[in-house]
Structure 1
Amino acid sequence: MHGFGILNALPEDSGQLGHAHGGRMLGAVMPVWYIGSLVLVAVWAIAGWHHHGTGLVVTAGALLILSVIMSLLLLVPINNRNKTWTPENRPEDWKEQINRWNRFHYVRVAVIIAAFALLIDALT
């Protein structure tokens, strides 16, 4: 079970409040993670341009860019709404919105895992 499943299993309003808090915390950290990862992959691709595996590094970079685009277009809008919700002001469809965020998140994680698998392959 992942962290979001644990939050969803909490009683009453605790799960939604946990999602909101996590959205605020991770919303501040994720830009650093994305920018740092993209910069490192770009440096790796440029430094090893004529070496074996550069195509894998470039493809991994493209997948990381895709994950950023997915985040900005699909996940951030939901997260921006969610992080302001309280039990008193959340919309009626808040559970559906969190479930939609979770589904997009799973796809984004799969894209990121594929990117890092390509980077590992490029090392070998």
Structure 2
Amino acid sequence: MSNFLLGAAIVLSGGLVGVEFCVAVFINPILDRLPNNGGLSARADGARLLGRIMPFWYVATVVSAGAATALLWTTASGVLAGIATALFAATIVLAVTVLVPINNRVGRWSHGEHPEDWREQVRRWDRWHYLRVALVNVGFVLLTASALIPAG
């Protein structure tokens, strides 16, 4: 059972890493280069879509990693999985306290209606998002490493 939960957590966190990395490194920079604020509507649409999906994905990752940690706790694998779980939980705290409020504002904007400081707000979101990307990446690496430690 612990192998199944650990595998599920690795798959879920690996997907998170891919999505969050892609948003940070490819999607948002491309959208920001569109002329005449063309990326603003796309960012708003992305904020609405991902804002509905990602909370469930993050919670599923924390729950599966936490369950694997509980089953493996007395092993070296369990310690690494525990640290990874703590990092994933920290990303939820970061999201709820900093990223979600900005994301909710962005989700309400349209190409014609947005605040004058919209660029600064999305840059602030991007800066905090880089921290989230780092946390989920480290969590993913630790979780994967925990699966590579021989039992015994």
Post-superposition CA distance 1:55-103 (Å, at most 9, x none): 1111111101110011111110101001111233211100000011111
**Is 1:7 the equivalent of 2:38?**
no
TM-score by length of 1: 0.95
Output one character per residue of 1:17-41: Cα deviation in whole Å (capped at 9) or x when no partner: 0100000000011111111101110
| Alpha-carbon distance in structure 2 between the residues aligned to 1:14 and 1:92 | 15
Select the residue among 68, 82, 93 that pairs with 1:69: 93
Identical positions, percent? 36
In terms of fraction of residues, the more helix-rich structure is 2
1:81-96 equivalences in 2 (<5 Å):
81-96=105-120
Counterpart of 1:40 in structure 2 is 64
Matched residue of 2:35: which SS? coil
Does 8-17 or 103-112 show the bigger shift? 8-17
Q: Deviations over 1:38-59 (max 9, x none)?
A: 1110110112122331111111
- Give the residue type in structure 2 aligned to 1:50: T
SS at match of 2:41: helix
| 1:99 partner amino acid | R
Q: Distance in 2 between matches of 1:30 and 1:20?
A: 15
Q: Which runs of 5+ in 1 are unaligned?
A: none
Misfit runs of 4+, over 2 Å: 49-52
Paired letter, 2:116: E
TM-score (norm: length of structure 2)? 0.78
- The count of residues paired between Structure 1 and Structure 2 equals 124
Which residue identity lines up with residue 18 of structure 1 in the other structure?
A
What CA distance in whole angstroms lies between the structure 1 residues aligned with 2:124 and 2:104?
Answer: 14
| Structure 1 residue aligned with 2:16 | none
